Amino acid sequence: MATTFIIGTLSLAGLVFWADFKSWQRFGNQASNALIGTGGTPPTLRGYLKIRRWGLYLLYNRQNLLSTTSIPTTGPTYLTPDLISPRPGLRPKLTRWTLPQRQHVEFITPQASAALSTLIQSFASTPPYSSYISTAPSKTEGGTGPAIYVNPDVDTINPAAHRIFYEIAHVHPNDNSLHVYVSPRDAKTVIEKGWGQRFPVSWLAPVSWIMVYAPRDEEEVGIVREIVRAGVCFAAGKELSE
């Protein structure tokens, strides 16, 4: 009797484990089941075990990704305060996996979706930003989408820009959220005003590499654009504006 119970329990646990692995593996594009949703982590069993191991470690340490106490209060700020109003409503819920760091999909207007889909390229093709940045597949996302990079030969480049492969920002097309590398002071502002949170795996990225929640309308796309602009300025080491 006891043996049967143990075998049944282990079998059920195995099925739950396998179902969660396949769900994580296909998270990126549920419509076509393309294996692109795991960010920079390989969509393999080994990759899944790695992020689950990290998840258990972070659960043990009870990390609060909304806390800004570990983020420095010194250094430059590039956000225009009047353009970053508090985000209305509750913060979005995140998926259950440590990586990729994603939120549950929320409604976005068609106009906002169209603007967000061209956000990365619009910076790279618009002066004065185009003199300092370029676009390429995101290294932090395993090459599954475009990202903004600061050009390494920029005279005023921030010495810390190399810490995440010179990448500044990328958009996650499956949930419309972003990751952006901003200054520590700007990261505090974004988090405290409800527009984002810290990256969960602190040893993989700088403290001000943050998740920015998905915009829901054109006004919110404007706020997200301002956050990305601040990231471009931080990487370039100077104030830039159109």
Q: For position 34, what pLDDT does the model report?
A: 39
> What range defines the domain where residue 144 resides?
81-236
Half-sphere exposure of 43 (CA within 13 A, CB side): 19
Q: For position 186, what pLDDT does the model report?
A: 98
Residue 204 is assigned to a structural domain of this protein: yes
d(CA 63, CA 47): 22
Q: Which residue has the tokens 């004065």?
A: 128
Are 196 and 104 in a shared domain? Answer: yes
d(CA 44, CA 22): 9
Residue 98 is assigned to a structural domain of this protein: yes
CA distances from 209 to 110, 114, 167, 186, 223 (A): 28, 25, 10, 11, 17
Give the pair of three-digit tokens for residue 94: 């995140």
Residue 135 is assigned to a structural domain of this protein: yes
Angle of the 218-236 helix axis to the 110-117 helix axis, nearest 10: 20
Residue 173 is assigned to a structural domain of this protein: yes
Q: For position 30, what pLDDT does the model report?
A: 46
Are 55 and 104 in a shared domain? Answer: no
Q: For position 181, what pLDDT does the model report?
A: 98
Backbone angles phi and psi of 29, in degrees to 5? -145, 85
> What's the whole-model pTM score?
0.83
Q: How many domains does one find in the chain?
A: 2
Mean pLDDT by 10 residues, the chain (242 residues): 63 59 57 45 67 64 86 95 93 80 92 96 95 94 88 96 95 92 98 96 89 97 98 97 86
Angle at 141 between CA 192 and CA 28, to 5 degrees: 90
Are 92 and 51 in a shared domain? Answer: no
